[in-house]
Amino acid sequence: MKIAAILKFSALDYPGKLSAVVFCQGCPLRCVYCHNQDFLDSSLSGNVSREEFLSFLKTRVGLLEAIVFSGGEPLLQPNLREAIESVKELGYAVGIHTSGVIPNALKVILPTLDWVGLDIKTCFESYKDITNVADSGKLVAESLSIILASWVNYEIRTTYDSRNITDADLISIAQSLGERGVRRWIIQECIIRDDTRLTHLPLPSQDILSKIATYVNVELRRS
């Protein structure tokens, strides 16, 4: 298990629970707005040893309620199941944030999870525009089906990059989610960084949100 970093406290990363976030090293995608560039290279070793991780878990028993594996892409980690078992033994709930591009690994690990946050980057046909990886949308569609066929608690969210996601894309995603039975879709504000500043990209217009709402309940999440 390669752990790049641990965020020791978060009230935002697991719905309704105080959590810590474990950032895993390595991601197969290269999203245009990625803020975790240091976590992408899977050839790098992590910065947090297994002993440090286990010791951290023990010191937070009774203070935190959940541990969330994020990244990078946590499903790339060959020892994720072992890490989850260590977390569960101490009584924490376990969640992951995933891009959904490794559906086979998701299927195997899903029964051990209490909650999944799945990113839908854009409509499945246009995935490469955001991720720079061809056919990644097909894999994510498969992961979405796996989650919806399970009993796991989940959250579906999209970071709205208005440079690469059109209004038609938004409607198409909403329709697709609604048809698959997703009841709640979170659209997150996209923040891009250049050398000198952060820019908050606009959220969808009220008109588009009204159209989306005919397919699925939508919530906006500002950063």
Nearer to ligand SF4, 30 or 85 (CB): 30
Cβ proximity of 150 and 181 under 8 Å:
no
**Is 123 an interacting residue with respect to ligand SF4 (CB under 6 A)?**
no
Residue 92, C-beta contacts closer than 8 angstroms, at least 6 positions apart = 57, 61, 64, 65, 66, 67
**Is 164 an interacting residue with respect to ligand SF4 (CB under 6 A)?**
no
* Torsions phi, psi for 117 (to 5 deg): -105, 115
CB of 71 to ligand SF4, least distance (A): 5
How many CB atoms within 10 Å of residue 192?
15
**Residue among 4, 22, 24, 34 that touches ligand SF4 (CB under 6 A):** 34
**Is 103 an interacting residue with respect to ligand SF4 (CB under 6 A)?**
no
**Residue among 29, 116, 120, 147 that touches ligand SF4 (CB under 6 A):** 29
Give the range of 68-76, 136-144, 149-157, 161-169 binding ligand SF4 by CB under 6 A. Answer: 68-76
**Residue among 8, 15, 16, 30 that touches ligand SF4 (CB under 6 A):** 30
Residue 206, C-beta contacts closer than 8 angstroms, at least 6 positions apart = none
> Which of 149, 158, 81 has the alpha carbon at shortest distance from 126?
158
DSSP letter string, 7-75: EEEESSSSTTS-EEEEEES--S---TT-S-GGG--TTSPPSB-HHHHHHHHHHTBTTB-EEEEESS-GG
Residue with tokens 């959940």: 66
**Is 27 an interacting residue with respect to ligand SF4 (CB under 6 A)?**
yes
**Residue among 99, 122, 136, 143 that touches ligand SF4 (CB under 6 A):** 99
Give the range of 32-40, 58-66, 79-87, 169-177 binding ligand SF4 by CB under 6 A. Answer: 32-40
| Distance from C-alpha of 221 to C-alpha of 33, rounded to nearest angstrom | 16
Give the range of 45-53, 65-73, 74-82, 194-202 binding ligand SF4 by CB under 6 A. Answer: 65-73
**Is 193 an interacting residue with respect to ligand SF4 (CB under 6 A)?**
no
**Is 80 an interacting residue with respect to ligand SF4 (CB under 6 A)?**
no
Q: 3-class DSSP state for residue 173?
A: helix
**Is 137 an interacting residue with respect to ligand SF4 (CB under 6 A)?**
no
Residues that bind ligand SF4 (CB under 6 A): 27, 29-31, 34, 36, 40, 71-73, 99
